[in-house]
Amino acid sequence: MMSQLRRTFSVLKPATGPRRSCTGSCTGSRGLFGGPTGGGLVLQSRSTDVHQNLALEDWIDAHVDLTQRRLLLLWRNRPAVVIGRHQNPWSECNLPAMRRAGIPLARRRSGGGTVYHDPGNLNLTFFTSRRDYDRQRNLKVVTEALRRIRPELDVQATDRFDVVLDGRYKISGTASRLSRKSSYHHCTLLHSADGSTLSAVLRPSCPGIHSNATPSVPSPVANLIDHAPSLGWEELVEALVQQHNTEFGLGSASTLVDPADESSFPGIGGLAAELRSWDWTFGKTPKFSVDTALELEDGRGSARCSARLQVEVKAGRVEVCRVDVPAHWLPERLSLRVSQALVGERFCPHAAAAVLAELLRSENGRLQGRLLNLCEALQSAMG
């Protein structure tokens, strides 16, 4: 598995036709998209940065006339977790585990569920006019390509627009975004992703959440190489591009692009910066509440106590907060000060630590130890 993953770090190779590379010395976006209309184009991203690749999707959607051409973008990322536009990251992924592993979180602009990306996961984005939007036809490209190169694989597209293997294992998830005139539909394809990391990060990090955010639907997953060990990355990419051309009657050349190149994609750096921001990633979370127990103990571990945290969070910030701690454990004045200090702050452990530090400095002795334990419990409850 590890040798296969190392191989997938190599740059995507061209599939059919001549390869063009647009990396700064090129004529820019006019050179890429200024050709005859009515045809197709296949782009392969050189970047493995999740925010750059999501920004490239947004840039194409905003700047390319998709009423006149069909476009396929192929891309993959270093390890990352990507949530849907209307999802709650605290209930979808294990934020502490991601921080420890250095795995970033990204919120895309399309709907759908949470997915884990790494170099063993291929992403395909189908851009068309809104009139030509057809997710089943796009998924037909994926299933027909797999059947052609590995006839023994039993792959089917479902009514939920997933692709499943052997009628059970999900190998592709899907999401889409529709604008007034244009559309894009993107899907994942698990070739050789790290299954252990996927399982570790796609689990809730904050207990007791109540939310109307769109939940993910858990499914058993599998990698293609688990069932077709000889299926190489380049062979897979080539088959998909060929099938895309066949399905839509195109002869699209494959073009390598760099989404960090402002001369080719003017303004794309600002799009990527917005996608990286806390206000987008966490601040766009639909309003939610948390009601969870806190287990406390003094510094010596000889005494224990149960407390309760109740918060309402809007735009990623604490709007209402109540920390209930029995009076015999902590004076009510301190519980109240903790509750008041968190209101207006970001719902995250780092913000909680910073705002509660002053309270800790104001106490000493036994109360300071118990207050410190409460602060640690609060940080843990905030993911």
Cβ(253)–Cβ(42) below 8 Å: yes
Contacts of 125 by beta carbon, 8 Å cutoff, 6+ apart: 57, 72, 73, 75, 184, 185, 186
Residue 7's pLDDT band, with cuts at 50, 70 and 90, is very low
CA 208 – CA 292 distance, rounded (Å): 5
User: What is the per-residue pLDDT across 9-29, written as a single tens digit (0 to 9) for each?
Assistant: 333 433 333 344 443 333 356
Confidence of residue 300 (pLDDT cuts 50, 70, 90): low
Please give the residue that has the higher pLDDT: either 28 or 303: 303
Q: What is the model's pTM?
A: 0.89
Strands 288-297 and 304-314: antiparallel
pLDDT of residue 10: 38
- Residue-level pLDDT at 38: 62
pLDDT tens-digit series, residues 49-81: 999 999 999 999 999 999 988 999 999 999 999
- Side by side, the strands of the sheet bearing 163-165 are 155-157, 163-165, 169-172
Share of the chain above pLDDT 90, in %: 75
Question: Across the strands, what pairs with 172?
Answer: 163
- pLDDT mean over 220-241: 96
**219: number of Cβ within 10 Å:** 14
At 17 the pLDDT is 39
Looking up tokens 């796009």 gives 138
Per mean pLDDT, which range of 135-149, 201-215, 265-279 is the poorest?
201-215
Q: What is the pLDDT of residue 14?
A: 33
* pLDDT confidence band for 37 (50 / 70 / 90): low
> What's the pLDDT tens digit per position in 136-184?
999 999 999 999 999 999 999 999 999 999 999 999 999 999 999 999 9
Would you state the pLDDT for residue 166?
97
Residue 202 has pLDDT above 70, yes or no: yes
* Range from 25-34, 328-337, 339-348 that averages highest in pLDDT: 339-348
Residue 23 is predicted with a pLDDT of 37
Taking the C-alpha atoms of residue 232 and residue 240, their distance in angstroms, rounded to an integer, is 13
The predicted pLDDT at position 11 comes to: 33
Radius of gyration over every alpha carbon of the chain, rounded to an integer in angstroms: 24
**Per-residue pLDDT, 36:** 59
Instruction: Compare 299 and 105 and report the one with higher pLDDT.
Output: 105
Quick check: 167 and 345 in contact, CB under 8 A? no
Q: Name the nearest CA neighbour of 368 among 336, 330, 339, 333.
A: 330
Q: Kindly compute the dihedral angle of the four CA atoms of residues 373, 375, 379, 382, in this order, to the nearest 10 degrees.
A: 120
Mean pLDDT (the chain, rounded):
89
The residue type found at 339 is S
CA 85 to chain centre: 10
